[in-house]
Amino acid sequence: IFGGADSRYYTGLISYYPVPMELSAGWIIPFDGINIKGHLYSPLDKDNYAVIDSGTTFILGADIFIAKVVKAIGPTNLCKTDLSKLPILNFSIGGDFYPLTPAQYIYPGVPNCNGLSQTYNLNFDHKYTVTILGDMFIQVYYAVYDYDHSRLGLAKSINYS
């Protein structure tokens, strides 16, 4: 739906996060990092952002950050791993957690079935870093792009309730 939210596609409340338009880097929101088994892995010590991007399939982040997350997950080849032995990834946005289960972050069509990818360092003028949360995230969480109020909303998608 253009210009609003359609309650047929999400459950619960929509949580909104400010989009700092002065950074002019697209639909970015504050991003704390990924919590795995009680430990928060962050791209930098401060000024981390996430882009909620429907044009990206995977979750992309800075090399060092994603390497730490992948190491914390455990096995290097997720294709043959018992899903019950893998951790839930809790994406921390504005202090709220958005969990992805192993079934949601494992992607059979790529090497090692890992849907988290290392990429070049996405930092802008060395002031902040950006992690891209692509379709793997958006399939689980309904996104509302609210241009009029410079904010982005997230709610649990009915597809994964």
pTM score of the predicted model: 0.89
Portion of the chain with pLDDT greater than 90, in percent = 42
| 28 class by beta-carbon count within 10 Å (0-12 exposed, 13-18 middle, 19+ buried) | buried
Closest Cα partner for 140 from 108, 107, 98?
98
Residue 151 has pLDDT above 60, yes or no: yes
pLDDT digits (tens, 9 = 90+) for 11-22: 999 999 999 877
Q: What is the DSSP secondary structure assignment for residue 20, as one 8-state letter? A: -
pLDDT at 1: 58
Long-range contacts of 19-23 (CB under 8 A, 24+ apart): 19/150, 19/151, 19/152, 20/49, 20/150, 21/150, 23/49, 23/124, 23/128
pLDDT digits (tens, 9 = 90+) for 111-125: 777 787 766 555 555
Q: What is the mean pLDDT of residues 53-80?
A: 85
pLDDT at 3: 64
